[in-house]
Every structure is written in structure tokens, then in C-alpha cells.
Amino acid sequence: MAAPRAPLHLVMPVWNRGTRGIRGLSRAVALEGSQKKGRSLLQFLADRFYDVQALREYLLQKQVLKVHQKNRPFTYIKERFGPHAAGAYFILKQGGAVKFQGKEWIRSDAHGHFSLDFLKFQAVPVEAVNASGCAINYQGLDSLLALKELRSLWLQRCPHVDDWCLGRLHPLANSLQELSLAGCPRISERGLASLHHLQNLRRLDISDLHAVSNPGLTRILVEEMLPSCQVLGADWAQGLPSGPDEQSQDKASPIPA
Amino acid sequence: MLRRALQLGLGRGLLGRRLGTHRGGSTLGKVEGSGGYRGSWVAPVSSYVTFRTRDPAHDGKTVGRLGEGDQNGKMSEIKKKIQSVLPGGAWNPPYDTSYLPPEHSDVVIVGGGVIGLSVAYWLKRLEKPRGAIRVLVVERDHTYSQASTALSVGGIRQQFSVPENIQLSLFSEYLAVVDDPPLDIQFNPSGYLLLASEKGAAVMESNVKVQRQEGAKVCLMSPEQLRNKFPWINTEGVALASYGMEYEGWFDPWCLLQGLRRKVQSMGVLFCHGEVTRFVSSSSHTETTSGEEVTLKRIHEVHVKIDRSLEYQPVECALVINAAGAWSGQIAELAGVGKGPPGTLQGTKLPVERRKRYVYLWHCPQGPGLETPFVVDASGAYFRREGLGNNYLGGCSPTEEEEPDPGNLEVDHDFFQDKVWPPLAQRVPAFETLKVRSAWAGYYDYNTFDQNGVVGPHPLVVNMYFATGFSGHGLQQAPAVGRAVAEMVLDGHFQTINLNPFHFSRFYLGEKVQEHNII
């Protein structure tokens, strides 16, 4: 049959892109041309052979299971050390960073190892969580929602955080003051509509949300919805034609004859 | 084996061609090994057929063959060939029949809406081993122009959804198809706000208690709190409000339907564009433990009439699942449900009938903003936000006396003026100035007995399963009901959730599972 050296991207590139985050997105776009040939060969085979189709579905399921495994609840740690320690452990295991009240930021190193000293802080609440780029999903939020005194939550570029997850954030309404959702590929204006529960929110970052259909209008509506909150990102003039500025520029730079 | 087939082909080639020309020579030409044979690599029958039509070197060989062999053997072979070529025979006829459903199917699902597709999905997902069951979905309108799913407002709320282990949120993962973008059903997690007057306040409190026991995150609000939260509400006449905060809202049912169709097709479920016109069944008489005589029926064949044609195909089946929605009463009558003296189990009809409901879309520039939940007023009128442009969808269920005629899907605009607008304008003063943009009507598969679904087999027609009668809530219950019916079919009993209270026999026994809060 055809080229045995064709790149065997056995998993759909969208999933691959998702797990690598927004930087992966730009890389994937550059590779689009070569990837397309490999993907269409595999698609051709999958359309005609049940085994290839089964193999691809199996690999897809494996990826899904991997994300599920990362988001499992740590019930033993929760019972033994309390919800704050369990939440911190969860975030550190995912590769994020945690800040306890009155302590420094704790983060895992390049190999994924981190010290377990924080398990000694029995009743010290977690103040800030930086979960940028982590594979947190709807189930994993259980661990985060137990952190009742969380002040600042950064969920930048999380590939599996979507509208359903935003609908779950209301238990943090009493304490949450800063929320960053920049660059999450699955969040749309429908999820942002459920943020009105977070009445203590003072800073909200909604830049680079590609699934939002109308960023400028969304920003205006979110500002109306949360009057005491400062909304960053999504310039309201985005997408509007610049009008007179553009015309004067054309006159200034004449087309060479 | 292939060589034998080739010899047969060579031997009868000339005769076969003559048969072909009697019916019209072009029919043989239509068989190209495509159509029904796409995707299957082990089909010696197809290669036999294609070989016959495409081999140009026929004539020389067949003349020699005809000369030898005994006449009796030849005649019986010719007779067998003629019999197999006639419709209904074992051999695939040499013209394109890909529009017909298969002649045998283990499960036939009547109705291709969200419930039918959900049952098909779970059957394929829970079957062991892979590919063990052949499932056929018969849908008579592939544009879904009258289907309740497509015309639905799309809300989901915790009051009706059966437990959390079958969450719609997980469905986008379940329905992921390799090589396709992930499914997005456009869910708005904005929640439901139910308002109650003095009369209904006690009922609402007890309802909320039950919901909280099931794990729903619902909060009760007084008129004060309501005014603080949603300043655009006029709380006059409101005694209590229940606000569901998590996992409640609305989504796009068309996205879910198309996603389900795509996934279910990728799993190998067969679709047929046709209408069920007849069930061929057999009866057997038995005695119950108390000595009464009962007649049990078993459906053997389903006659599927092809759309816009008089042609029908009898499909032999083991099970029939009635997921026909607003038309399930008619399908049940075809199967003989309800044919007997009234008051007996044989005479109990399926009490599901079509009821027409209107939905109106209007624009109100000063209306409530992004945080608007799905608001259901104490009077029964409801509305929700649609999109970002200050558009709202809403309607109201008519009382029993004002039920519109379900014969067609024409919209009555006076109904909006008289019954929908006044309560909404009183509740939300900004709605005094609004402009109706469009409206449509759809059917509820209304269960006249207790407005709750019917799930499970019929006690007398032993291989017909019902999954219908949800009276406006089929969409949110579809994943759960699909899984329950699939478990019933594959294991014989419910496993993840117990839907025994929704059995058909409650119509005969008179045990209502009354649902009060339907919109």
C-alpha cells in the first residue's frame, strides 16, 4: 500500500493540541500541512478496516482515561490531613503551584516531585492556586471546591476547563477575589454567564478565549453583570472597524504607481 | 470456495444474463460492488456478482459448459436461482437496495429522536462482545421537522434528572468520535429559577428537600433575596423562589441530536428512512399462577414502508423499542396494545398522545442581562435568554380546556398576547416593551395518566419495550433512560438506576407517579 514512512499520528490532533496547551496550538498549526497527509492515510485505513478503527478508538479512550486518572479524588489525604492539604496535593500532582496563607508558593519541580511538608499545615487554608496548563476537568474541581478560603484562582490555558466547570464555581463565592481564565480553549460566553454568583470577585481575566463568539460584547455584558469587578482582556473595540483612522492612513500612504 | 463460485458463475452466466435482460438489462449494470457492500472485505457473494457482470469473456466458456451435465440437475438449479432472485429470497438481488433496511435485525428502534438514539448508543456501548447486536433505527423523517427533540427549548433541571452517574456533561466525552471535533452541546449553566405564590410555597419547600437529598444544589430564596440578586424581577405575589445553581440550564438539542447520530453511526447502528406500518406477531396462551388465562404476544416481523414509495421491507427482529415520541400511541396500537375489553390489562391502551406547545422568540432591548436563569413563573409562563443580543425564548403551557388542536404545527399568535405576555410583563417590567421575532410549535409526547415517562417492556406483548411519554422532559432524561433500557434489554433488569415505578402496568393498576412541576 502507501508510504510506510507516513507519520502515524494515531490520535486526533485536536486532542494532542489540547494537552499541550495554547503554545501547542501554534505549533500544531505550523505542522498542519504534513500532519494532514498522515491523518488522511489513517482515516483511509480506519474507514476500511475494523481493526484500525478499533485501535484508534482505543487510543482515544486511553487518552480520556489518562485525564480521568489525573482528576481522581484523594480521599485518604482528605480524611487524614484535611481538605486544604488534599486540594494542595491535587494541584501539585497536576503540575501547578499552591500558596498557603502566610507561606511561600509551593510548586513541583521539572520531574514532578514536590516536598510533602505542607501536610503538616493542618488548619492553614490555601490562599492562592495557580493551575495554569493543568489537566483539570469537571471531576477534578471537587478537590478545588473544598478550599473554602481560596482568594485567587488561575486557570490559564487549561484544556479541559469548560462551561460546565464554570457553573460549579459558586461554592467559592464568599472568598474568591481573583479569577483568571485566559486562554482556555473550551470556555465560551455561556459559561461566563454563570460567574455572577462570585459577588466578591475583583479581578477577572478573560483574554484569549477563542470559543467566545463575540469578545467585545461579552466583555461589556460581563462588566454589567459584575459591577464591582475589574474585567481584563477582550478589548471592547475588538472586531469593530476603526473607521476614520483607517481612511486617513490610506490617504497618507499612496499606492506606488 | 471462490473458485466454486466462479465456476457456478461461468456455468450459469449466459442464463443469468438472459434473466437480466428480461427485467431490463440495465439492472445488472447497477451492481458495481458498491452500495451495500461498502466497507466489507469478506464478501464472496459480491465478488461473485461483480465477476458475472464485468467479465467480458463469458460467452466462449458458457457455451461449452451448457453442452455437458444432466438436464434434471440443471432445472433444479435454475429453479433455485429464480427463487433466490425474487424479493425476500436469501441471495442479494442484482440491483441497488441500499435504501432498504436489512432483512434481519436483532433490535428495531422505532423513532430516531434523542431517546431512540440514546437507546441505540447505550446498546452498542454495553454489548459484549463488540458487534454482537445488530441495531436498526427506523425514522420516517430525517429532517426532524416535527420531532419534539429538534423543536425543544432545551432546558435541563435537577428535579427530573435521575442520578448524577449519568450526567449530560460526560456525554460530550462519550460521544467523541475519532477524527471529528469534540461535541459541544452549547450548554448554558445559568440555572433554573422557579417562583411560587403563597399557595405553592409549601409544595416547593418539600420538593426542594427531596431534591437536596438526591444531591441537587438548590437554594431557596425569599422575595428580599430575589430582589437583591435579580433587580429586574417584580416580586409582587412571589412567596418563595427556588434557584438551582449547578448542572441546570439549557443547551442546544439539535447539536446533541446530530452528535448522537454521528457517534451511533460510527458504532455501527443501521439507519432506515421509513415508516413502520405493521407488526407481524404470534400469540401463545399460558396460565398465570392464579389460574387465569393470558395471551402473550411476540412480534416477529416489522414491516417498514419506505418513504414516498409503496415498497416495504419485512424486518425480522427479536425486540422492538417504541421510542416514537408523540406518535408512540399509534405504534402501540399497531402492536395490539389496548385491543381488548376496557378495564383489563389487554384493554389498557398506551395513554401517550400528542399535545401542541408554542414557543415564542422576542427581542427586548432593556431586558435582563447575561445572568438571567431559566425563569418559571408561578402562573406557568416561562422564559430564558437566547444568545447575546437581548433575545428571549418563552411560552406557557395551556390549561386542559385550552389545549390546541394537535393536527398541525401552526402557531397561534393570540395565545402569546393573551396568555404568555401578561404574566411575564407583570413579573419582569422590562418586558412591557418587546417585539416578537418568531415563533414555532412542537409536540409533547404527553402522558395523560400521570405526565411521567413509560419505560420497560409491555407485560403482554413480551418483546416490545417502551421509552416514551416524557411529557416535555425527554431531552434531559434521554441519557439515563437510554442506559436503563439498554440494561433491561441486555441484562433483563435495571442496574444503575431503578425505573421500575415507570412500568406500563401502572396504567392498569392505577398507581400514579405524579409529576407536579411540569412546565
* Secondary structure, 3-state, chain A: CCCCCCCCCCCCHHHHHHHHHHHHHHHHHHCHHHHHHHHHHHHHHHHHCHHHHHHHHHHHHHHHHHHHHHCCCCHHHHHHHCHHHHHHHHHHHHCCEEEECCCCEEECCCCCCCCCHHHHCCCCCEEEEECCCCCCCCCCHHHHHCCCCCCEEECCCCCCCEHHHHCCCHHHCCCCCEEECCCCCECCHHHHHHHHHCCCCCEEECCCCCCCCCHHHHHHHHHHHCCCCEEECCCCCCCCCCCHHHHHHHHHCCCCC
DSSP β-bridge partners for residue B438: B361
E strand or H helix at B276:
strand B270-287
User: Is the complex ipTM more than 0.85?
Assistant: no
Does residue B16 surpass a pLDDT of 50? no
CA distance B52 to A56: 37
Mean of pLDDT over chain B:
82
Most confident of B13-22, B53-62, B114-123, B498-507: B114-123
pLDDT at position B444, please?
Answer: 92
User: Is B369 an interface residue toward A (CB < 8 Å)?
Assistant: yes
In percent, how much of chain B has pLDDT > 90?
Answer: 50
Question: Which of A12, A49, A194 comes nearest B190 by C-beta?
Answer: A194
Contact B245 A56 (CB under 8 A): no
Q: Which residue does chain A place closest to B188, by CA atoms?
A: A190
Structural domains of chain B, ranges and CATH numbers in brackets: 99-154+252-351+448-518 (3.50.50.60), 356-443 (3.30.9.10)
Contact B469, B447 (CB under 8 A): yes
A196 lies in a domain? yes
- pLDDT tens digits, A42-79: 888 887 888 888 888 888 889 989 999 999 999 999 99
A29 lies in a domain? no
Contact B388 A166 (CB under 8 A): no
Band of pLDDT at residue B81, cut at 50, 70 and 90: confident
What CATH number is given to the structural domain containing A222? 3.80.10.10
A191 lies in a domain? yes
CA distance A138 to A71: 9
User: Is B370 an interface residue toward A (CB < 8 Å)?
Assistant: yes
E strand or H helix at B67:
helix B58-67
- Between B263 and A36, the more confident residue is B263
Band of pLDDT at residue B239, cut at 50, 70 and 90: very high
Min Cα–Cα distance to chain B from A250, Å: 34
Question: Which of B169, B179, B370 comes nearest A193 by C-beta?
Answer: B370
DSSP β-bridge partners for residue A18: none
Instruction: Using a cut of 0.90, tell me whether the model's pTM lies above it.
Output: no
Q: Which residues of A touch B (CB under 8 A)?
A: 12, 14, 39, 43, 46-49, 53-54, 56-57, 60, 64, 138, 163-164, 166-168, 170, 186, 188-194, 196-197, 211, 213-214, 217-218, 221-222, 224-225
Query: Span B298-315, mean pLDDT?
Result: 93
pLDDT at position B170, please?
Answer: 58
Region of poorest pLDDT, from B109-118, B340-349, B456-465: B340-349
Band of pLDDT at residue B99, cut at 50, 70 and 90: confident
pLDDT at position B197, please?
Answer: 92
Does residue B489 surpass a pLDDT of 80? yes
Band of pLDDT at residue B461, cut at 50, 70 and 90: very high
In percent, how much of chain A has pLDDT > 70?
Answer: 77
Contact A218 B388 (CB under 8 A): yes
pLDDT at position A252, please?
Answer: 45
Does residue B516 surpass a pLDDT of 50? yes
A87 lies in a domain? yes
* DSSP classification of residue B188: B
A94 lies in a domain? yes
- pLDDT tens digits, B279-295: 999 999 988 888 888 89
A77 lies in a domain? yes
pLDDT at position A120, please?
Answer: 84
Most B CBs within 10 Å: which of A196, A219, A225, A229, as the mutation test of the B interface? Answer: A196
pLDDT at position B203, please?
Answer: 85
**Residues in chain B closer than 8 A to A225 (CB atoms):** 369-371
| 10-residue stretch averages of pLDDT, chain A, 257 residues long | 42 41 41 58 83 87 91 91 91 92 88 85 88 90 91 93 89 93 91 91 92 88 92 74 54 46
- pLDDT tens digits, B110-135: 999 999 999 999 999 999 888 899 99
pLDDT at position A4, please?
Answer: 42
A148 lies in a domain? yes
A37 lies in a domain? no
Domain count, chain A: 1
